[in-house]
Amino acid sequence: MDNQEEVSAFLKSRRARITPEQAGLPVYGQRRVPGLHRGEVAMLAGVSVEYGVLRIVEGLHDQPAYVRNNRMDILAANPLARALHCELFETGAEPVNTCRFVFLYPRATRLYPDWERVAREGVGVLRVEAAKNPYDRELSNLIGELSTRSDAFRTMWGAHGVHVFTFAEGTKRFLHPEVGEMEQVHESLNLPGDEGLALTVYSTDPGTPAADLKLLASWAATRQQDPADPQPRPER
């Protein structure tokens, strides 16, 4: 008999009874659920859930792929994803955050020809997350920073009628500074657990007239071999 659901329920009930303090783990901010998160259990057992996800991202050699959290921080990205979003990673900001790049760096309007749509989608994601996690201090700090520093964000956030973007699938246009125009299909998958992580993978539709990923991969490989590869530059 398949008792997978019973085993899963039993394990969840066990970890719900143990607090991070009892396990000797630090606690930051308000927690949405009682007990230990899956990642914390894995860490205590010597197995990293994040490490398993990182291997998947790095194993996708022919497609840009990255993992983000609910605040739109990019936590892991393979070389092709870094090449596709090169201007995002060249800002030198830590953590790398797509919403912060879209609203605070003028070069974002060049990288994304459909900047307004991308911006509204980002605001929609943050609004949904803020409703789901009202006690997430880092999320609140990000929203506060963008509201203070960006008139566009403040206007879109105040409009309340922003487009809610699920990130499940869609297309995005890029105007890459070296490769040129690219239209990429993206698909996202929410990862199991309590961390709000999602895996996003890009690909090119067959017959697309824009530059394909092979050209991007060629440029990325050349860039990695070039010892004069430019370092992060300040925004102008």
How many other C-beta atoms are found inside a 10 Å radius of the C-beta of residue 137?
A: 11
Averaged confidence pLDDT in the chain: 78
* The pLDDT value given to residue 39: 59
- Residue 76 tokens read as 């892991």
* The pLDDT value given to residue 20: 65
35-225: CATH topology: Beta-Lactamase (3.30.450)
* The pLDDT value given to residue 1: 44
* Per-residue pLDDT tens digits for 182-232: 889 888 888 776 567 888 999 877 666 555 788 888 888 887 665 444 444
* The pLDDT value given to residue 110: 93
pTM of the predicted structure, to 2 decimals? 0.71
* The pLDDT value given to residue 3: 58
Torsion angle, alpha carbons of 63, 66, 210, 205, to 10: 60
CA pseudo-torsion sign 175, 180, 181, 185: negative
Low-confidence ranges of the chain (pLDDT < 70): 1-8, 10-12, 14-15, 17, 19-34, 36-51, 160-168, 193-195, 206-211, 224-236
Q: How would you class 88 by CB atoms within 10 Å of its CB: exposed for 0-12, middle for 13-18, buried for 19 or more?
A: buried
Rounded to an integer, what distance in angstroms lies between the CA atom of residue 26 and that of residue 44? 13
* The pLDDT value given to residue 165: 54
* The pLDDT value given to residue 220: 86
Domain chopping of the chain, boundaries: 35-225
